[in-house]
């Protein structure tokens, strides 16, 4: 079975030793992805904007691996403050409302204080 590594071009991929996504057969595993601004690479103050940016990054990784956002079967969301959940719900529902993957949300710290949202996905196209 062929294993394909999907890169987003981040210098941290080689430095830390990860891929944006790994395709193994009919499965695609997308690494935890935060939401910096695509042009400035700075993190927006609004958790919704971070979520939108992160979801665009993971959707591109899925597409690069031959998958579609509709193939997502599992989503794990990481937020740094439980109060973000109410404002993130409409953003997440806008993407996953009809797909309805199995999902979890964890309130935790992330590696940089400006990060408010991270998402990790698993997709299946069998």
CATH number at residue 93: 3.30.1330.40
Total domain count for the chain?
Answer: 1
Please give the structure tokens belonging to residue 116: 């408010």
Max CA separation in the chain (angstroms): 43
Sheet order of strands, 27-34 included: 3-6, 21-24, 27-34, 117-124, 72-79, 102-107
Over the stretch 76-106, which tens digit does the pLDDT of each residue have?
Answer: 999 999 999 999 999 999 999 999 999 999 9
Over the stretch 35-67, which tens digit does the pLDDT of each residue have?
Answer: 999 899 999 999 999 999 999 999 999 999 999
The boundaries of the domain holding residue 33 are 3-124
- pTM confidence score: 0.94
Please give the distance of CA 77 from its chain centroid, rounded to a whole number. Answer: 8
Q: Cα separation of 31 and 36, whole Å?
A: 15
């Amino acid at each position: 079975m062929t294993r394909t590594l999907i890169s987003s071009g981040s210098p941290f991929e080689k430095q830390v030793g990860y891929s944006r996504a790994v395709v193994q057969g009919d499965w695609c595993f997308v690494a935890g992805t935060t939401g910096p601004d695509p042009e400035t690479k700075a993190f927006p103050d609004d958790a919704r904007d971070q979520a939108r940016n992160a979801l665009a990054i993971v959707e591109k990784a899925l597409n690069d691996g031959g998958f579609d956002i509709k193939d997502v079967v599992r989503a794990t969301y990481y937020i740094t403050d439980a109060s973000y959940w109410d404002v993130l719900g409409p953003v997440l529902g806008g993407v996953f409302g009809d797909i309805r993957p199995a999902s979890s949300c964890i309130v935790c710290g992330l590696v940089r204080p400006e990060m408010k949202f991270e998402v990790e996905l698993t997709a299946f196209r069998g």
